[in-house]
A = this chain, B = another copy of it.
Amino acid sequence: MADEKIPYTQYLQADGSVVGNLPEFAEDQELVLALYRHMNRARRFDTKAVAMQRTGRLPTFPPALGQEAFHVGFASAMSADDILFPTYRDGPAQMVRGVQLEELLLFTAGDERGSDFQVPRCDFPQAIPIATQTAHAVGAAYAMKLRGEKSVAVTTIGDGGSSKGDFYEAMNFAGVWQAPVIFLINNNGWAISTPRDRQSAAPTLAQKGDAVGVPGQQVDGNDVLAVYHVVSEAIAAARSGKGPALIEALTHRLTDHSTADDASRYRDADLLSEQWKEEPMIRLRTYLSNQGWWGKEDEESMLTELDQEIERAVENFEASDAPEAAAMFDYMYAELPADLMAQRAEVIAAHGHEGDGS
């Protein structure tokens, strides 16, 4: 799978068996259970959001189904002071970072308040224009380095996004500056309908680091322990001044690109069922029960709790008023220029002051 020169890390195989020597943290029951819980929250939320979209309660939603190990693994490896520059598919990672489910719902609904995270205050909102976030990460990393802070910027991108010049330019800047940035590729095999092999003739995406003097490696993105491990190490290295790193996580997109997409138009059903066999949750659960850390009851009560948490978030979201009419003006500038006041007044006249969803 991986190029010879490119390191590849995997601990948990698809059947839950362990390969190689597990890193120490894998014995930390609390930590690993937290990873598992985060992954479950992500999947339950995902299912809920898709259902809401199908019933007209949310606009387009991009599920992360099947990629939870990637998201939860890398986000759990970050410290609170690190900064995440995510894409539209990184909701599960944002949850780990402390973004509220309700905020994610607001964002998805097209309510800008969803990006005004109460926690984490410095993380960027999801980037929609692909690959642009990578430059932000490098700039932020530069700022942190300049101030002598020890924080690290982490940014993600898809296999499709890795074809964009922005990604290359950002990595190149990071290489020259030896900036503390981790570039994570979520290689889920597809950019909407475009398969990985039409994105690039490079045998791995990790070797894109070669072009800019940034070390690249691959990891099994269905293995949360492997993801957590390699990202933790890369972050620690960057934190200690060793510069940027590129990590390609091999995942599968187990559903459509988004709720607006129908992958059956371009994806082979057999391929999909093969990929389901490698999905990340079951292998982790197998590991947990092999460790004696997890049973049926634990599972049931966890799922009940998570579903309750999600239901509360949905209720709060659905009970929320739309933003005030004037809000579209009030955050354009620190202070509204006189030039725009008449327009603002017109909108208030037409729609009122209230955030009444009108």
**Copies of this polypeptide in the complex:** 2
Partner of A166, one of B165, B178, B208: B165
Contacting residues of chain A (190-204) with chain B, CB-CB under 8 angstroms: 198-203
Count chain A residues whose beta carbon lies closer than 8 angstroms to a beta carbon of B.
25
Chain B residues, Cβ within 8 Å of A169: 163-165, 168
Q: Which of A198, A199, A211, A213 has the most CB of B within 10 A?
A: A211
Closest Cβ of chain B: how far from A211's Cβ, in Å? 4
Asked if B202 and A175 make an inter-chain contact with CB atoms under 8 angstroms apart, the answer reads: yes
A282 at the B interface (CB under 8 A): no
Closest Cβ of chain B: how far from A3's Cβ, in Å? 9
Contacting residues of chain A (156-178) with chain B, CB-CB under 8 angstroms: 163-169, 172, 175-176, 178
A212 at the B interface (CB under 8 A): yes
| A207→B172 CA distance, assembly (Å) | 13
| A165→B211 CA distance, assembly (Å) | 12
| A210→B171 CA distance, assembly (Å) | 15
A154 at the B interface (CB under 8 A): no
Chain B residues, Cβ within 8 Å of A176: 198-201
Asked if A175 and B163 make an inter-chain contact with CB atoms under 8 angstroms apart, the answer reads: no
Closest 5 CB pairs of A and B: A165-B165, A201-B213, A175-B201, A211-B211, A210-B210
